[in-house]
Amino acid sequence: MTKRVGMEVSVAIGEMVKMADVDVVAAYPITPQTHIVEHIAELVADGELNAEYVPVESEHSAMSACLGSAAVGARTFTATAGQGLELMHEVLYVASGMRLPIVMTVANRSLAAPLSVWGDHSDVMAVRDTGWIQIFCENGQDVVDNVICAFRIAEDNKVLLPVMVHLDGFHLSHVIEPMLFPEPEEVKDFLPPNKYPLPLNPAKPVAMGDFAPPFIYTEARWAHETALRQSKQTILKVWDEFAGKFGRQYKPVESYRADDAKTLLFTIGSFSETAMTAVDALREEGLDIGLVRLRLWRPFPFEELRAVVKGAETLIVLDRALSVGGPGGPVCSEIRSALYDANPRPKIVSFVGGLGGRDITVDGFSAIVKRGIELAKTGSDREFQMFGVRE
Amino acid sequence: MSNPKPDNELTSRDLEIGCIATTPGSASVNRTGDWRSQRPEFATLRCIKCGLCALYCPEGCIVENAGGAFEANLYYCKGCGICSRECPILAVTMKEES
């Protein structure tokens, strides 16, 4: 039986890590991820979670320690945010290239300078190409469920890739929400023990993280690409199985009132909750609009995206990150590129907003949609619109 | 990667997960001395068999031969010249590779 619990989302992540019976946690505290690792440290210190907690001196070391523990086949978890994610950047590629099933929650935060501890997706977009599976969450329940699913996906022997579970800093990490918690036995049943196929073992030595001369590097990259692309099948299977067991269904691309809508608003992360309310309000006004949110960021859900936009005339994409000096929003660039060959091809309007923790209200989303529809007709001399900026 | 195929025929499917090498010491087949620009020549008859060259060799590729004198395994030797510098009786000289 599941039970409803009111709890801060960060603390709930700690509780899920405990239910997943993680073996090793190596982490460095950083706002707004701090409460996650604080709670896990507490659980380990109190003997409630039998795990090794490694209080490393930096995020670079955190991810490096995770490599070692995942390599011996231990269930491994870490969490970070913003600058911390950037400090571990180079090791992220090593984790995925070595195919180590580490699970990491990222409390998405903007990047300095200027210094900001508040949320946006600057950190995520900078690690877009690190070869990890990346899942976005909309609310606390999504986070709780997807942390459990993430271990299942990462450790599946058809996948063996690290997984990032993204939750918006503060907007999700620090919110107290009612969430349905599974029973520990249910999680145990859903999450079989981690069985890494070729762990470090003195009785059966292997070498990991080898040197790859030019004759084999391309093939190694292709093997990684194939694995990440094919991981979608397992992700779908795990989400379906989760739905069967716990009743909540996750999909790579999710939508709200989007069937046959002429205009679609795209969001990623927690802002879709407000955007849904805006969609309701705009529908009342007679606008034919729906909302689409990308849950799966990597592997990118090309097929699902193409299916959901079929029939739509205008797409309005809100990014919470900026590719400075480039095309504007990274999510919009990818959507544009995925739909370039679509026939008919919808008009696509890019908005960047919600940076550094700035809220976008229901009225804000309504304004974005109305301006987007207008720009789809008139066109714009700008690659993207910076929403709410005092120029 | 203990695959019988030649290097340039290996495909992405021949690689173990994460390129893990399952045969210990498999890198020893690699001819790592082929970019050497100088090679050490050992005056074996003069060698006093002190073993300092083998001790200092960063590659560990200098070994004692049957007669107790020392020689470098040129399959791995990079030609750094440390053995030549350390030999107390100047019995190791560096020669340009042709």
Quote the ipTM score.
Answer: 0.85
Distance to chain B for A72, nearest Cα, Å:
13
- Provide the pairing of β-strand A24-27 with A314-319: unpaired
Query: Looking at residues A271-287, what average pLDDT do you find?
Result: 97
Around Cβ A312, how many Cβ atoms within 10 Å? 21
- A184 phi-psi bin (left φ>0, alpha ψ -120 to 50, beta other): alpha
Range of the domain at A241: 3-246
Q: Are residues A119 and A219 in the same domain?
A: yes
CATH of the domain at A37: 3.40.50.970
CATH of the domain at B90: 3.30.70.20
Query: Looking at residues B34-52, what average pLDDT do you find?
Result: 95
pLDDT of residue B1: 46
Query: Looking at residues A13-40, what average pLDDT do you find?
Result: 98
pLDDT digits (tens, 9 = 90+) for A127-166: 999 999 999 999 999 999 999 999 999 999 999 999 999 9
Burial of residue A349 (number of CB atoms within 10 Å: 0-12, 13-18, 19+): buried
Q: Are residues A294 and A382 in the same domain?
A: yes
pLDDT digits (tens, 9 = 90+) for A336-371: 999 999 999 999 999 999 999 999 999 999 999 999
CB distance B12–A160 less than 8 Å?
Answer: no
The answer to the question of residue B54 being in a domain is: yes
CB distance A216–B18 less than 8 Å?
Answer: no
Flag whether pLDDT at B22 surpasses 60.
Answer: yes
Burial of residue B67 (number of CB atoms within 10 Å: 0-12, 13-18, 19+): exposed
The answer to the question of residue B5 being in a domain is: no
Range of the domain at B58: 30-96
Q: Are residues A241 and A101 in the same domain?
A: yes
pLDDT digits (tens, 9 = 90+) for A77-133: 999 999 999 999 999 999 999 999 999 999 999 999 999 999 999 999 999 999 999
Flag whether pLDDT at A64 surpasses 90.
Answer: yes
CB distance A219–B20 less than 8 Å?
Answer: no
pLDDT of residue A92: 98
Q: Are residues A241 and A258 in the same domain?
A: no
Query: Looking at residues B27-53, what average pLDDT do you find?
Result: 93
The answer to the question of residue A121 being in a domain is: yes
The residues, ordered by sequence, that sit 6+ positions from B85 with a Cβ below 8 Å of its Cβ are: none
Q: Are residues A44 and A158 in the same domain?
A: yes
Q: Domain boundary at A246, A275, A297, which?
A: A246
- Between helix A9-19 and helix A34-45 the angle, nearest 10°, is 40
Q: Are residues A274 and A379 in the same domain?
A: yes
Split at pLDDT 50, 70, 90, the class of B5 is confident
The answer to the question of residue B13 being in a domain is: no
Q: Domain boundary at A201, A231, A246, which?
A: A246
For A97, the closest chain B residue by CA position comes to B18
Per DSSP, B16 falls in state P
The answer to the question of residue B77 being in a domain is: yes
Q: Are residues A186 and A278 in the same domain?
A: no
Q: Are residues A257 and A332 in the same domain?
A: yes
Q: Domain boundary at A202, A229, A246, which?
A: A246
Distance to chain A for B84, nearest Cα, Å:
30
CB distance B8–A210 less than 8 Å?
Answer: no
CATH of the domain at A317: 3.40.50.920
Query: Looking at residues A290-313, what average pLDDT do you find?
Result: 97
CB distance B20–A210 less than 8 Å?
Answer: yes
Flag whether pLDDT at A34 surpasses 60.
Answer: yes
pLDDT of residue A98: 97
Query: Looking at residues A21-29, what average pLDDT do you find?
Result: 98
> Is A50 in a helix, a strand, or coil?
coil
The answer to the question of residue A391 being in a domain is: no
Contact B16/A at CB under 8 A? yes
The answer to whether residues B34 and B71 touch, using CB atoms and an 8 Å cutoff, is no
Query: Looking at residues B68-86, what average pLDDT do you find?
Result: 96
> Is A152 in a helix, a strand, or coil?
helix
Burial B13-31 (b: 16+ CB within 10 A, else e): eebbbbbbbeeeeeeeeee
Q: How many CB pairs under 8 A join A and B?
A: 56
The answer to the question of residue B82 being in a domain is: yes
Q: Are residues A226 and A314 in the same domain?
A: no
CB distance B8–A215 less than 8 Å?
Answer: yes
Flag whether pLDDT at A1 surpasses 70.
Answer: no
Flag whether pLDDT at B3 surpasses 80.
Answer: no
CB distance A208–B18 less than 8 Å?
Answer: yes
Number of domains in chain B: 1
Contact B24/A at CB under 8 A? yes
Flag whether pLDDT at B89 surpasses 60.
Answer: yes
Q: Which of B14, B17, B19 sits opposite A212 (nearest CB)?
A: B19
Number of domains in chain A: 2
Query: What's the whole-model pTM score?
Result: 0.92
Contact B9/A at CB under 8 A? no
Query: Looking at beta carbons, which residues of chain B come within 8 Å of A208?
Result: 18, 20-21
Q: Are residues A307 and A231 in the same domain?
A: no
The answer to whether residues A258 and A308 touch, using CB atoms and an 8 Å cutoff, is yes
Flag whether pLDDT at A68 surpasses 70.
Answer: yes
Query: Looking at beta carbons, which residues of chain B come within 8 Å of A212?
Result: 19
The answer to the question of residue B7 being in a domain is: no
- Provide the pairing of β-strand B92-96 with B38-42: antiparallel
Sign (positive or negative) of CA dihedral A196, A200, A205, A208: positive
- Provide the pairing of β-strand A347-352 with A24-27: unpaired
Q: Are residues A230 and A208 in the same domain?
A: yes
Q: Are residues A11 and A75 in the same domain?
A: yes
Query: Looking at residues A380-384, what average pLDDT do you find?
Result: 95
